[in-house]
Structure 1
Amino acid sequence: MAEKLPANSDSGTDSTEEEEEVEPKFKYQRIANDLKNILNADVVTCTAVHSKFLIFGTFRGRVYLLDHQGNSVESNLSSTEQHTHKVAVNQVDVDPKGEYVATCSDDGKVNITGLFSCENNQNLSFGKCIKVVALDPDPKSRIRRFIVGEDKLTLYERNLLKKLKPTELCAVEGSVLSICWQGNFVAWASHLGVRVYDLSEKCSLGLMKWEVPSQARLENFRCHLRWSNEHTLLIGWVDTIRICVIRKRNGIEAASSNLPGYVVDPVSTFQTTFYICGLAPLASNQLVVLGYRKERSATYKALRPVLCVIEYKMNSSEEICTDSLTLRGFEEYTVNDYSLGCIIEENRYFIVAPKDIVVASLIETDDRVEWLIKHSKFEEAIDLISTHGGSLPILSVARLYINHLLTLKQYEDAAKLCLRMLGNNKALWEEEVFKFVKCQQLRSVSAYLPTSEDCKLDPHVYEMVLYEFLKFDAKGFLNLIKEWPPQLYDGLAVINAIHDNFRKQNANELLESLALLYSYQGDFESALRMYLKLQNKDVFELIRRYELYDVISKLIIPLIHLDRDRAFKILLDKKKIKPEVVVHQLEQNQEYLYWFLDELHKINSSNVFQRKLVELYAKYDRSKLLPFLRRSKEYVIQDALAICKREGFYPEMVYLLGCMGGVEAVEALNIIIHSISDIEMAIEFCKEHNDNDLWNVLIDESIKQPEIVTKVFDGIVDYVNPEIVVSKIKLGQTIPNLRESVIKMLWHYNSQKEVLCTSHEIQLDDYFDSHSEVVAFRRRAQHVSYDHHCPQCHRPVLMKSTSHRNGLVAFKCGHIYHQLCIPGSTTIGQCGECNMGNSDRSEEE
């Protein structure tokens, strides 16, 4: 079985500083099963990876074929001894179809073995150390070609007679250290650098010399070659990586016949912080590199190898992530003990050590989700599942995230997550809400609870939320009562809870909440009482909305006290509430009653409460009393007079007594003279009533007070004969300024008399002038034409026949009669036609 291998992500060095963990690119599994038993007795020296299996050579010269889980696979390799080398196997290669394996060793042998057929097996002995061998990568090939590298590079081809034909491709500067074959291009490394050979043109494309390390020898490091595609070559040697592209020369370059048709262009070169043990392509501009750290441990042991993802550009690079790997025996290994195999199509990488083989695979969605959850990166996990799917339900991750946020006491964020992820899942909502109950944080989730009909939770849930607000946040409780539809919870239960937990410091919020709840329950009278306790003017809106005019009959005084104008707007509408009901309630508060009746009188002056209004004006606003008495006729004068007498309101008494006339008018005049002491008012009173008795009383009273006699004389000129006034003055009575007053009075009297006489004369002259004009008008001749017809016989009044000629009678109204046609009873001065019309109108009237 495969064993999962944990990997530590770091920046490439063992650092004691705490750094945030980076999401890994790979997951790791150690190959076990039969491999474990093999490595207990032997060590790996080289490997070749195929999509179907793994093949490796050992220090003892054996070659093993295993599946990717480490189980042995039956093949010709395991059935014969002839394929075993005497010493360590230097290189293993496999054809694309996975049918043939080539191995070489320091024993000088090269073996090409069919895994399941012996038809094309080859065993060659060179008598010298063979470090590299490569099979033809063409999948159509039946192992007709292979290359062997020693102190020269030789291509072996099998002809139709199955005989091998060797062709020396190139003499090597030293010996061949590594080889990699792709299509028509063969790349190999020597002690000087790397060459690429074009098999189709049978020429070398040039030598790329490698920089010699300052503190080591180049030949002490294995050169790692990998074709990422037919024209891109990856080279990793010591601590330098070079990306090369094989391109065809352009027209100008190809003009020289001495140059190959293709050229090798290095497109990117950069260094790493470690020695390179292998490399492979990942994405278009990314590499997977197995590295051996340059540093040593405190005991001068090797550090753990690293698997690094590098993103490269022209001449720079960036490490995307670096995993430190704990391979068996890593402390004892050197840089050349490691190698990296890969299956490019599957993005699987085989990290090979002498005693261990670990497979690194790009982590899948489920692995990424698992890692993100483990590292509390729930938001990223949710986004990942939303984008790429996965076996783990997104709701499961969301619920774990909610638990995590609650643990961190991030209650608001947890509530928002519930809204975002739970949707209309009623069951999940109810489960998650109870988590907030345990934290006493239902207040945090209240704003996000579903309240629509399609996802209405159990009423108990909403009641728990309200109860928590009631305990800890009365204002928030009120806001919820306003916002939530009352159908969500049991209103009576919430009302009882308020009464059980009523606190004076939160009285306003709780009373308003009660008012709303009572309204929702239809108990409007209780709701109104709550609003009135609060002195909240929303009570008027409640009355208007629900037309609670019958309910407010017992609450009239509190409503007026709250807002007189808005209360009267309702109370003065007879259609909503009868004035009798209002007056009955306001008997307890006479001032409010006065305000109400005063406003009622403005819109209805003929109401039955005028007697009461007289009394209220007398008590609260006397300035309105006299205008009211003058304007209104519905009150009882005797009652009003009694009130005014009681209060000593003389002007009002004068008006009322004057209305009564007779003796009462005299009493009114005496009040003016003796109580009010206003002679001008007395004179005006007498003028208003124009009663001789009143004038006599006024004159008699004025004679008794000589200082006011002259004022009376001035005021009575047009109303009383001056002789009467003068005759009442006693002989020898001293009256200041009497002479001037009498002269003035007589002058006014004579002037008035002259005006009257002149007016009379003018009137007579006008009359006679008008009469003369009428007479003259009536005596004028009147035009008579043939168009006129007699109203009686309807014939023309003028006839040409002499036999019908007779006298005519013409009236000023325009009618003309034949003299013979006028009825005998008709008076000559009156038109019969007009008289008949007047008679008809009289009858109609």
Structure 2
Amino acid sequence: MPREARLRGESHGQTASNVAAVSQTEPRNGLQSTQLPVGSDTDEKMGAASNSTQRTRADRKERNMSETSDPQTHISPLPSEYSQDELSSKASSASDSVSASIDAQSTTSSCDEEEPLYNIHKIGSSVQDILAKDTLTASAVNDKHIAIGTSSGMLYVVTKEGLLHKGFQFHTAKVQQVVLDSTGTFIASAGMDGLVCIASLHTSEQYRFDFQRPMQTIALEPGFGNRSSRAFVCGGMNSALVHREKRWFGHKETILHSGEGPIWTLSWHDRWIAWANDRGVRVLDVYTHNVITLIASPQPSIRMELARCHLFWRDPLTLLIAQGQRITVANIRSRFQEAEDVLQNVSSLSTLIPNLNTNEPNYFAEITEIFQVDYLVSGIAYFQDRIITLAYRAHPDDLQALHNGAVRYQHDAQLQELCVIDDQGEEIGSDLVYMDDVHARCNDLHLASCWLPKKSSSDSRDDFLLYVAGRRTMIVAQPRTEKDHLEWLLERHEYGQVLEQLERMGKDQAQALELDYHEIGREYLHHLIEEQHDYSTAASNFARLLGNDAAAWEEFLWLYLDRHELDAALPYIPTQEPQLSEVVYDMVLVHLLHTDERRLLQTLRTWPAELYSRQAVAAAIQDRASSSSTLVACLAELFLAGHAPGKALQYLLQLRDPTVFALIREHNLFTDVQDKLAQLVELDQDIAGTQKPPSDAVTPLLVDHQHSIPIQRAMSQLDAYPWYAYHYLDALFDRDPESIGSYANQLVSFYAEYQYSKLMSFLRTMSSMYSFEKAYKVCVKHDYVPEMIFLLGRTGDTRGALNLIIERLHDVHMAIDFVKQQDDTELWDQLLVYSRDRPEFLRALLEQVGGEVDFARIMRNIPENLTIPGLKPAVIKALHTMHLQASLLDDCSAVQFHAVQGLVAQYDAALRAARYCDAQTRCIVCDQLLLVHAQPAMMFFCFHSAHLKCITSIPSRFSDADPFMQPTRSFSGTYADNRRAWLSLDQTSEEPDFSSLSSQTQSVQPTNHAKILSEAQKQALQRTKQLHTLPLAQSGCPICAQRQAYSLE
């Protein structure tokens, strides 16, 4: 990495009035030329005009120097009022300091190899032949040709490939400069013989001008080949800037500027002409022929004969100036635009108008940046926002001598470089240039650049070329492309960087570069394995670099197996996309079987079972599984993966795996475990950490699947585990009490031992299922008195039960309740006998006086002189209870009497109720009109009516009647049904309204109503007397009786 230092100045946006001072004008050949004054005044004004700060920059590598190295030299920003002499002095001292520091560093450390910035190669063929016989003194390039001027005065035009296109013998002395116009059709040259020549490359058009003094430089107007004026400017030792253009009667010559020494170089771009002389660089506006600025040369300056000034237009308004060890950036700005900017910042025009000078040029140049480098600049170009310089690294002694005014070099150059500088003045890279001429000086080197047109419409950009020419050699440098960069990395085995960049590019762009991502990836993997032996890193990149290439995966896995490094690749072996062959997965599993059993188990749990041969792997494991629980687990995993959970179950039980219960439920393996309940119980105990877990996993499994595991089979295996047997029977009893019939006695024992709170309820509810004798023995064993009392009571030994209550429990209330439940007089007698000499029992009996216990009997049973605490309250309570009972009985009798009385009254009202009958009333038997033909009829209290002959025709015994006969219903029958509903109402309710029926009887009303009613009454009374003597009339309505007999209604 070359060494450099920088001195940079930044513009602070000065207004037009302080950017440049306008000097007095000097008329020259009828033209006025506006220029900046020179000398010390100019230096001060340039300092104020640029208003820039400058600082030195040590080489980037100097930041990493060892602690023994000298500290870096820092230069503070310079004030805007520094003179040019001060500016140059500080820049020179900064450069010397940095160079010394870098020299010290170079003795203690070495640089790593850096990628070149350009592809550099020599131009051979005709160029090599020309320079073998002559010396190159000038060169120019465009997109089609290369122009060469030699020390003998010859001009050569060659193609880009170096083939000679045309030659011209215009000069008799060294050619100082050669140029090609922007159209590529004309060549122009300036020589030491004072001649300036212009010639067409395709026609015979030529121009030759003799200025009698050595000419140093020439520039053609933009678009020279397309313009009829054929204008150009030139200059040299005659100290005049001469402008010539073609007119009708010859060429017109104009002196644009003169009087400041030889003109060493010039450049014509758009409307601006820039040239350099001993005082500095001036810029002229072609439209107005006004010089808009003077940029003074650095002081002390190096003679132009030893280090020529170079001009390059970065864009139409930005000029790059390289002279000696300084690079200046100048921007051309409009004075009117500057005034507008000022107007936006002032509140009144009155403060600005006096400062506006209408005699000043419309444009001015503003120095925006100054870069100080530690080499002499032999040429300058611009590419992709970067300044490119051709660096001539002179001997340090020569540099010092040149600044002190030396007129020659004492030493040969150390080296030449193409340097790249960013917009901050930082050198970001450089390439060495080998010119095969150790005696070349700064002005013997030339740098030119051009853009080549796109080769095709698919190209994204033009090609940029740099041409470096020496006295005997011409080389071309092309910025390296992305493909060049990647190939350079590949040559140095930097595969990682290449792959990362290809990933960022994408597949299409990588293919355009003719680079195969996967092929490079495989090379990278082989490099890691074969050269670096980094198997882990290589394996971690398999997925990214091999992709879905199954063959490549298998190749590397077999390679890892051969190198005994397969463990490094295990985490990255794919199971899908791509899926490898079965033999590869079998190979991996067998390898793990012999090296790492735990990893084998983990792999079996993660790999799909379809990848490998389960039978082969299981057979290999079974040969070694007897001594390893891990291999037993592997077998279980294999059978699970092979959808054989029944076979896996035995291995899981052997391992005491907690997932057994979930496996049994998930795959319905109850038949498989019906003879393995002991193992399940022991597994559950291990999981719970106790022999008697409060809740277990075995019981729900057995209860929920009784059809698969019968109760008898389960109990035969749970006998050795009474706690689980108890839980099992208890759960069965809760679900289906009838299912435990044969195990009821055993459940009584379990409740007595494990769950006493459930014992009594079980004894009460399931008394038909267990043996009272065995249950009593169990209760006696555990001394459960209440249960013993219950069992004695159920077996009929009430006296024994009462004795237990009295003797063991001494609970008088329980004894009384027990006697009440039994409702046995003898038990009352036994209780009274037992209570004779027990005051607390007597008091309790008195308090319980009721229907079961006679108060007088209790009182008579009390011995004389027996003291009973609380007797008086007990007697009072007993008497009160008796009085209350008597009162309740009286009240109940009164309520009953009144209720009966009401029913009797209601019945009497029903008997007294009127029975309606009219001409429309029909016989309920024959369904004929009842009151026609003077037939005798009967009306019952049920409001049924019938002819007497119809009644007598009904069978006397209902068993002889047709049970399916449907009796007819007359209007009177319907009325009878309704009437029964009315009679059920309260007696105070009003009788129903029969007005609706009056209209039905109007048509049959007799004329002598009173007489008919009287006769009818007589006949009715007689017939009623007769009917009452008949058994049929005494038995009531036969129709209702028939309905009740057959339940027809």
Q: Which has the higher contact order (CA 8 A, sep 6+)?
A: 2
Corresponding residue of 1:224: 310
Q: For 2:1044, give the aligned amino acid.
A: N
Cα distance per residue 1:43-69 (max 9 Å; x no partner): 432222233443323445555555545
Instruction: Select which of 365, 368, 371 maps to 1:271.
Output: 371
**1:585 Cα offset (Å):** 2.4
Q: For 2:119, give the aligned amino acid.
A: K
**Against the structure 1 CA distance between its residues 214 and 437, is the aligned structure 2 distance closer, same or farther, given a 3 Å change threshold?**
farther
Query: In 2, Cα distance between the equivalents of 1:745 and 1:212?
Result: 136
Q: Is the 8 A contact 1:22 1:321 kept in 2?
A: no
Q: For 2:643, give the aligned amino acid.
A: G
Q: Is the 8 A contact 2:158 2:165 kept in 1?
A: no
The question of 1:365 aligning with 2:482 is answered yes
Corresponding residue of 1:571: 702
The question of 1:29 aligning with 2:121 is answered yes
Corresponding residue of 1:485: 608
**Against the structure 1 CA distance between its residues 296 and 781, is the aligned structure 2 distance closer, same or farther, given a 3 Å change threshold?**
same
Q: Is the 8 A contact 1:717 1:748 kept in 2?
A: no
Query: In 1, Cα distance between the equivalents of 2:368 and 2:952?
Result: 144
Bigger shift: residues 520-529 or 715-724: 715-724
Corresponding residue of 1:426: 550
**1:245 Cα offset (Å):** 4.8
Corresponding residue of 1:629: 763
**Against the structure 1 CA distance between its residues 795 and 23, is the aligned structure 2 distance closer, same or farther, given a 3 Å change threshold?**
farther
Query: In 2, Cα distance between the equivalents of 1:774 and 1:666?
Result: 54
SS of residue matched to 2:434:
coil
Instruction: Select which of 382, 393, 403 maps to 2:502.
Output: 382
Corresponding residue of 2:1043: 837
Corresponding residue of 2:322: 236
1:112-131 pair list within 5 angstroms? 119-120=204-205, 127-131=212-216
1:280-359 pair list within 5 angstroms? 280-283=381-384, 285-293=385-393, 296=396, 302-312=413-423, 317-319=424-426, 321-328=428-435, 332-345=439-452, 346-359=463-476
Instruction: Select which of 714, 717, 733 maps to 1:582.
Output: 714
Q: Is the 8 A contact 1:372 1:380 kept in 2?
A: no
Root-mean-square deviation (CA, aligned residues, Å) is 5.5
**Against the structure 1 CA distance between its residues 409 and 684, is the aligned structure 2 distance closer, same or farther, given a 3 Å change threshold?**
farther
**Against the structure 1 CA distance between its residues 39 and 601, is the aligned structure 2 distance closer, same or farther, given a 3 Å change threshold?**
same
The question of 1:394 aligning with 2:517 is answered yes
Q: For 2:370, give the aligned amino acid.
A: F
The question of 1:88 aligning with 2:218 is answered no
**1:179 Cα offset (Å):** 3.2
Corresponding residue of 2:924: 791
Instruction: Select which of 452, 456, 475 maps to 2:579.
Output: 456
**1:218 Cα offset (Å):** 5.3
Query: In 2, Cα distance between the equivalents of 1:480 and 1:677?
Result: 74
Q: For 2:913, give the aligned amino acid.
A: A
Query: In 2, Cα distance between the equivalents of 1:247 and 1:771?
Result: 131
The question of 1:780 aligning with 2:780 is answered no
Q: For 1:570, give the aligned amino acid.
A: L
Q: Is the 8 A contact 1:471 1:501 kept in 2?
A: no
Long gaps (5+) in structure 2 = 5-58, 62-98, 341-355, 399-409, 453-462, 689-694, 957-1031
**1:347 Cα offset (Å):** 1.1
Q: Is the 8 A contact 2:158 2:166 kept in 1?
A: no
The question of 1:50 aligning with 2:142 is answered yes
Q: Is the 8 A contact 1:350 1:360 kept in 2?
A: yes
Query: In 2, Cα distance between the equivalents of 1:558 and 1:428?
Result: 51
Instruction: Select which of 217, 221, 224 maps to 1:132.
Output: 217
Cα distance per residue 1:200-233 (max 9 Å; x no partner): x584545534334225345643122334566665
**Against the structure 1 CA distance between its residues 204 and 829, is the aligned structure 2 distance closer, same or farther, given a 3 Å change threshold?**
same
Query: In 1, Cα distance between the equivalents of 2:450 and 2:624?
Result: 72
Query: In 1, Cα distance between the equivalents of 2:808 and 2:358?
Result: 147
**1:606 Cα offset (Å):** 0.5
**Against the structure 1 CA distance between its residues 769 and 366, is the aligned structure 2 distance closer, same or farther, given a 3 Å change threshold?**
same
Query: In 1, Cα distance between the equivalents of 2:431 and 2:338?
Result: 49
Corresponding residue of 2:983: none
TM-score w.r.t. length of structure 2: 0.63
SS of residue matched to 1:175:
coil
Corresponding residue of 1:3: none
1:765-776 pair list within 5 angstroms? 765=897, 769=901, 772-776=904-908
Q: For 1:614, give the aligned amino acid.
A: V
Instruction: Select which of 153, 159, 175 maps to 2:262.
Output: 175
**Against the structure 1 CA distance between its residues 356 and 471, is the aligned structure 2 distance closer, same or farther, given a 3 Å change threshold?**
farther
**Against the structure 1 CA distance between its residues 263 and 686, is the aligned structure 2 distance closer, same or farther, given a 3 Å change threshold?**
closer
Identity of paired residues, percent? 25
Bigger shift: residues 593-602 or 334-343: 334-343
Bigger shift: residues 524-533 or 142-151: 142-151
Bigger shift: residues 706-715 or 288-297: 706-715
Q: Is the 8 A contact 1:339 1:351 kept in 2?
A: yes
1:610-649 pair list within 5 angstroms? 610-632=744-766, 633-640=768-775
Query: In 1, Cα distance between the equivalents of 2:777 and 2:810?
Result: 22
Query: In 2, Cα distance between the equivalents of 1:711 and 1:124?
Result: 160
Cα distance per residue 1:227-260 (max 9 Å; x no partner): 456666543333133345598999999x999998
Q: Is the 8 A contact 1:83 1:111 kept in 2?
A: no
**1:593 Cα offset (Å):** 0.9
**Against the structure 1 CA distance between its residues 154 and 808, is the aligned structure 2 distance closer, same or farther, given a 3 Å change threshold?**
same
Long gaps (5+) in structure 1 = 1-5
Query: In 1, Cα distance between the equivalents of 2:724 and 2:936?
Result: 91
Query: In 1, Cα distance between the equivalents of 2:333 and 2:792?
Result: 132
SS of residue matched to 1:344:
strand
Query: In 2, Cα distance between the equivalents of 1:144 and 1:771?
Result: 149
TM-score w.r.t. length of structure 1: 0.76
Corresponding residue of 2:348: none
Q: For 1:189, give the aligned amino acid.
A: A
**1:129 Cα offset (Å):** 2.3
**Against the structure 1 CA distance between its residues 686 and 246, is the aligned structure 2 distance closer, same or farther, given a 3 Å change threshold?**
closer
**1:140 Cα offset (Å):** 3.6
Query: In 2, Cα distance between the equivalents of 1:717 and 1:206?
Result: 139
Q: Is the 8 A contact 2:219 2:268 kept in 1?
A: yes
**1:391 Cα offset (Å):** 1.6
Cα distance per residue 1:564-586 (max 9 Å; x no partner): 44432222113554333322321
**1:282 Cα offset (Å):** 1.5
Query: In 1, Cα distance between the equivalents of 2:813 and 2:524?
Result: 98
**Against the structure 1 CA distance between its residues 503 and 86, is the aligned structure 2 distance closer, same or farther, given a 3 Å change threshold?**
farther
